Structure 1
Amino acid sequence: MDRDKPKVLVLDANQRSALAVTRSLGKSSQYQISSADSVAYALAGASRYSQTYYRYPDPNQQPQEFINWIRNFSASHHFDLYMPTTEVTSQLLLMFQKELPHVELPFAAYSNVMALADKVTLVELARKLDIAIPESEVYHSRDQVVVDRLTFPVVIKPALSRIYREGRWIHTQVRIAKNAADWDQIVSDMDYLDYAPFMLQEFIPGHGSGIFCIYDNGTPVQFFAHQRLREKPPEGGVSVLSRSIPVPEDLRSVAERLLGAVDWHGVAMVEFRVSDEGNPYLMEVNTRFWGSLQLAIDAGVDFPLMLANLHLKRPSVALNAYRDNQRLRWLLGDLDSLYIFIKSSHPIRKKLQRILSFLSIRFHGQKHEINRLSDIKPAWVELKQYLRSLR
């Protein structure tokens, strides 16, 4: 019977999002799942739902070797769908798609993806659609910037978070310069600003917000939203404790205008900065699965299954409504966040409150992202990796 099920290969298997994809499709019993990554042992590779684990060259350090491996592998192993979960593997496979005739990807065309992934192009598109964005100025070299004319604080935002140049990946950063001295120190380490486009953006006081969605060739299928309750690092970063919330209608309206304009297909995360006055400003779009994907699945929105069914033209039902206030905790990430908080200059009272909050147990409406009794091996793999990183 399994031979009749479509076969899916989940890439980037050591990512938490890849584990969520593997568990989602495996639990559905509709697909045969295998996984792959560049490390010897990976989270999704250890899952009970991954029938086989494959190891490939590191796409971050050896991009061409990775593509060669995929080309040879796909020619000798049949999979109906490849599911990458990081920006690097997704863009590599799209860039070299013509060389990979056996690799089926659940994405929009490369040009559509880059229209959103490239932050300079995204700003241009937002202006055409009259979507609110921070004041932005585009530069092609840091030498073009007249520092004396800058208004601080200013956000230094490269057009791409990953630059593929001369056969290798260059990882960029978004930084905030608070003054001229800060500017000099920050840009001295950003050599890529000499040859890669970047923006200087107005800093918007407020908080980050975003919505998650899936589209079928320009038509919205499902939206989802969550709130970050704790992050790593604590002042803003990766979510370690989050909860599902209703989709804010103002953010949804902007996302629909934006994604509809590029005839979007697949999943996306649209990120905003919401000012202290409550006004949303478009910041960026991630054109792949997000880190806290498991929260949406726990709340009832099974994005991986919906995407696979949609792309392979199998029956799928949009949910629209989902459980509010469902929580997800990444335990080891939360532990790191607690450690950073304790090491900070916060008052003792706040540190004790944070410790008590970390130790509090919620029995209903909250799940652990990695630690699941029904699929415990990924938790052991993560713990071993975590302990090795402490040496």
Structure 2
Amino acid sequence: MNASPDLNQAKPLTIAVTGLNANDNPGPGLAVIRALRDGFGENLRIIGLAYETLEPAIYMHNQVDKTYRIPYPTAGVNALKERLKHIQAIEQIDVLIPNFDAELFNFIKLEKDLLGIGIHSFLPTHKQLEQRDKVNLSAFGKQNNFNVPADEVIFSASEIDVSTERFGFPLMVKGKFYEAYTVTNLADAHIAFYKLQAKWGLPIIVQKFIKGIEINIAGLGDGKGNAISVIPMRKLYITEKGKAWAGITIEDKKLIELAKDFAKATNWKGGFELEVMKEDNGDLYIMEVNPRFPAWVYLTAAAGQNQPKVLVDLAMNRPIEEFESYKAGKMFVRYAWDNIVDVEEFQKLSAFGEL
């Protein structure tokens, strides 16, 4: 195994981060970067890994020191491997943090190869990734005594009629990677199906609607059954896509225990997010399990548990301690900011794949 670099050395700690988009369905990359800069200070170099030329964090030079384009996940493992070898020869990356669901399979596949060239990571296994997949979540819940809404995995719009008879309305229609629609009639259910199919492909998940308070939990598992950090957040403002645009940390022992039970049941390794619905009677339903940090993960640093920073420590085999407390009542309110850049930067990234 490669020796972990010393932070006291002249060379800054170099961390590569994906998920640099920041639209109304933002990626976690920028929040991860902000947490890392809080955690490691000035002796840090951030390398952005982007799929598209208009991912906003690319052009935030106070956050991202240099950006490289990388091939889409559909290009396969070998294309990603060759690109990362090229980047590593230039940048000497210490740790890589992927932040998109769809890219994780390839990065997990390359974990040992990347370590061989000096790039550390701290990722779940393929088995763990599959366990919490939307198409398997219901079975996972039954196996581990978690409340998960009843659902059906469908491959054609004609199957929606049967699902609506079983679950009634309102109804959740979900894409296999991202996005979900709450529908109240059959026509809207069909529209949602085709939208999600066009964007994310098949299958589509149709899930029973659960009424309650929407809560997200950001967690960090050590791969040995322990949740090193757990921060619950209640959504205060939700976009049309169901994303939290404002939220507040809350104190709730049942939520913390739920995240710890998940980490124990899966031996989860790395960051994760539980999307939870809390019914009026206090029952907790796991709606989704996201296998990486959420876009609001900077709130964990603000609340006293800097999850991205600790993930880096875990990746580099540094000693860490399980967090015991955090500050409830810390809020985030997301905002849009027009970042002005020169077209030459866009052209350079488009032409050469670097900026």
Q: TM-score range by the shorter chain?
A: 0.7 to 0.9
**Does 2:247 match 1:242?**
yes
C-alpha deviation, 1:211, in angstroms: 1.4
CA-to-aligned-CA distance 1:94-139 (integer Å, 9 cap, x gap): 24546655343211212212221x1122211110122112222344
- Tell me the SS of whatever aligns to 2:308: helix
- Tell me the SS of whatever aligns to 1:267: strand
Matches within 5 A, 1:39-78: 39=53, 42-43=56-57, 46-48=60-62, 50=64, 52-57=65-70, 59=72, 66=80, 68-74=82-88, 77-78=91-92
CA-to-aligned-CA distance 1:320-344 (integer Å, 9 cap, x gap): 2122212222222xxxxxxxxxxxx
CA-to-aligned-CA distance 1:197-227 (integer Å, 9 cap, x gap): 4443221122311211111122121111122
- Tell me the SS of whatever aligns to 2:305: coil
- Gaps in structure 1 of 5+ consecutive residues: 162-171, 333-378, 386-391
CA-to-aligned-CA distance 1:240-262 (integer Å, 9 cap, x gap): 2222221x222233332222122
Structure-2 residue corresponding to 1:260: 264
**Does 2:168 match 1:152?**
yes
C-alpha deviation, 1:81, in angstroms: 0.9
From 112, 118, 122, the counterpart of 1:106: 122
What is the rounded CA distance, in whole Å, between the counterparts of 1:293 and 1:29 in structure 2? 18
Answer whether contact 1:20 1:293 (CA < 8 A) is retained.
Answer: yes
Question: Relative to structure 1, is the Cα distance of residues 206 and 384 closer, same or farther in structure 2, using a 3 angstrom cutoff?
Answer: farther
C-alpha deviation, 1:188, in angstroms: 4.4
Structure-2 residue corresponding to 1:35: 47
User: What amino acid does structure 2 have at the position aligned with 1:54?
Assistant: T
Question: Relative to structure 1, is the Cα distance of residues 295 and 178 closer, same or farther in structure 2, using a 3 angstrom cutoff?
Answer: same
Answer whether contact 2:57 2:63 (CA < 8 A) is retained.
Answer: no
Between stretches 214-223 and 143-152, larger displacement belongs to: 143-152
Matches within 5 A, 1:249-288: 249-288=253-292
From 185, 188, 196, the counterpart of 1:182: 188
Structure-1 residue corresponding to 2:4: none
**Does 2:22 match 1:18?**
no
User: What amino acid does structure 2 have at the position aligned with 1:115?
Assistant: Q
Structure-2 residue corresponding to 1:222: 229
Answer whether contact 2:214 2:235 (CA < 8 A) is retained.
Answer: no
Structure-1 residue corresponding to 2:219: 213
- Gaps in structure 2 of 5+ consecutive residues: 1-7, 344-355
Question: Relative to structure 1, is the Cα distance of residues 46 and 182 closer, same or farther in structure 2, using a 3 angstrom cutoff?
Answer: closer
Structure-1 residue corresponding to 2:339: 381
Between stretches 285-294 and 18-27, larger displacement belongs to: 18-27
**Structure with the larger RCO, 1 or 2 (CA within 8 Å, 6+ apart):** 2
Q: Count how many residue pairs are aligned between Structure 1 and Structure 2.
A: 323
What is the rounded CA distance, in whole Å, between the counterparts of 1:23 and 1:121 in structure 2? 33
CA-to-aligned-CA distance 1:295-318 (integer Å, 9 cap, x gap): 221121111111111221223344
What is the rounded CA distance, in whole Å, between the counterparts of 2:91 and 2:233 in structure 1? 38
What is the rounded CA distance, in whole Å, between the counterparts of 1:278 and 1:71 in structure 2? 50
- Tell me the SS of whatever aligns to 1:89: helix
Question: Relative to structure 1, is the Cα distance of residues 137 and 32 closer, same or farther in structure 2, using a 3 angstrom cutoff?
Answer: same
Answer whether contact 2:137 2:148 (CA < 8 A) is retained.
Answer: no
TM-score relative to the length of structure 2: 0.77
Q: Percent identity?
A: 19
C-alpha deviation, 1:34, in angstroms: 2.2
What is the rounded CA distance, in whole Å, between the counterparts of 2:293 and 2:189 in structure 1? 33
Question: Relative to structure 1, is the Cα distance of residues 205 and 70 closer, same or farther in structure 2, using a 3 angstrom cutoff?
Answer: same
Structure-2 residue corresponding to 1:132: 147
TM-score relative to the length of structure 1: 0.71
CA-to-aligned-CA distance 1:3-48 (integer Å, 9 cap, x gap): 3554322233445632333233334248532222243774266354
Answer whether contact 1:210 1:225 (CA < 8 A) is retained.
Answer: yes
**Does 2:84 match 1:87?**
no
Answer whether contact 1:216 1:264 (CA < 8 A) is retained.
Answer: yes
C-alpha deviation, 1:56, in angstroms: 0.8
C-alpha deviation, 1:238, in angstroms: 2.4
Between stretches 95-104 and 201-210, larger displacement belongs to: 95-104
User: What amino acid does structure 2 have at the position aligned with 1:23?
Assistant: R
Q: Report the aligned-residue RMSD.
A: 3.4
Answer whether contact 2:134 2:288 (CA < 8 A) is retained.
Answer: yes
- Tell me the SS of whatever aligns to 1:297: helix
What is the rounded CA distance, in whole Å, between the counterparts of 2:274 and 2:98 in structure 1? 19
User: What amino acid does structure 2 have at the position aligned with 1:106?
Assistant: F
